Amino acid sequence: MTRRVVITGIGLVTPLGIGTEETWQALIAGKNGIGPITRFDASCHETRIAGEVKGFDPLRWMDRKDARRLDPFQQYMLAAGLMAQEASGLEITGENAARVGCVVGSGVGGVTSMEAACDRLREVGPGRISPFLIPQIIPNLGAGVLSIRLGCKGPNWVPVSACATGGHSIGEAVQIIRRGDCDAVFAGGSEAPLAPVCMAGFNAAKAMCTSGNQAPEKASRPFDLRRDGFVPGEGAGVLVLEEREHALARGAHIVAEIAGYGANGDAHHITAPAPGGEGAVRCMRLALADAGLPPNRIGYINAHGTSTPLNDAGETAAIKEVFGEHARRLAVSSTKSMTGHLLGAAGAIEAAFTALAIERGVLPPTINYETPDPACDLDYVPNEARRVEVEAAMSNGFGFGGTNAVLVFRRHAAN
């Protein structure tokens, strides 16, 4: 019998707020988390806006020594992980530590620390480089730091799959629990990519929005005809996943069940999706088959929805291919319109949003949807949240390199 996997805790650090409730309330209110970059002088960059985390005090979750030694992506991950544990009420002891894993990934790792170290190397030479540099930059060290802090002795590793990292991390954590290697896993993603070199690189690739510097609140406009690229963001999302019977036995509150997971590749192009979203079509079908659900059971999709011309049109075409006539009845929204694109953390926080939408009966909107695009002609929950009870929902994540991850969630049932 397949071991079922449920969500019992969520921790979020996002451009909309610190903590799950603060973030969720801002999300359903349609608030915008995007503004001018303050992390560095961005005046010479084509894109000068981002979804920055505001008011984050690392000393709420770690001492000063650790705060100095950890890259921001690790700080966000640690904070989100500790919030998720508190929300779940899961206690990790000497008796169960080996049955609790940690799979919390990052797309680019400690790029802020790497760039600062390169500057220091040029200025004062190799003898002044911090001995903590390598642990600061390796993508898996966020999960390592979190597992050490929590005492998780189960599987501790991370996928690194660009913008699909968060979805892959959660999906692979589901598989760990299903096959019986763990009873609980901390899963998700974290990213702190707001460094000059990252911004310059994405601009050089013509991937980011360049038209929104004067009106950052309008810059991220998924599925809108005037979209011209994504807006980067930072933050973390960590979910506590548990085997269902394990969660029920300890009386845990269950947010939702993760019913299906699909992962595949386009084998097409390093940055562009396959024509017609062919890879996304196959990935969504894999996730639906894994969940044992027909397409018409899905009531909501949290889209990858990056606000780039190719992604949004390709994802729309893929949804129509998979869902057929039901696509016209589906609610589809992109929460990146409010958070920006959190890269390796995107799939994690969007999984959390999808689970909360099921639990609370509210679908978050796609803000800044003003000018319809003939190539994007679905119901994108425009501009205002919608109170709708859905039994099952999907969250999509697609990354550079043609890597895809899709998760299917359903309302938890007692039987």
Sequence-distant (≥ 6) Cβ neighbours of residue 164 within 8 angstroms: 347, 397, 398, 399, 403, 404, 405
Considering 163, 182, 209, 376, which one is annotated as catalytic? 163
Sequence-distant (≥ 6) Cβ neighbours of residue 402 within 8 angstroms: 265, 266, 267, 268, 269, 270, 273, 274, 279
Which structure tokens are listed for 399?
A: 């990354």
Cα–Cα distance for residue pair 172/244, rounded to 1 Å: 17
| Three-class secondary structure of residue 22 per DSSP | helix
End-to-end CA distance of the chain: 14
C-beta separation of 317 from 380 below 8 A: no
Cα–Cα distance for residue pair 214/199, rounded to 1 Å: 17
Read off the amino acid at residue 69: R
Considering 283, 304, 376, 412, which one is annotated as catalytic? 304
Distances (CA, A) of 23 to 27, 222, 338, 355: 6, 20, 11, 14
Tell me if residue 269 is catalytic.
no
Distances (CA, A) of 61 to 79, 82, 236: 6, 8, 14
Cα–Cα distance for residue pair 389/12, rounded to 1 Å: 23
C-beta separation of 314 from 173 below 8 A: no
Tell me if residue 44 is catalytic.
no
Which structure tokens are listed for 104?
A: 């919390």
What letter does residue 3 receive in the DSSP assignment? P
Cα–Cα distance for residue pair 225/380, rounded to 1 Å: 13
Q: Which residue is it, tokens 């085997």?
A: 243
Tell me if residue 246 is catalytic.
no
C-beta separation of 67 from 172 below 8 A: no
C-beta separation of 298 from 391 below 8 A: no
Cα–Cα distance for residue pair 216/207, rounded to 1 Å: 16
List residues with catalytic annotation. Answer: 163, 304, 341
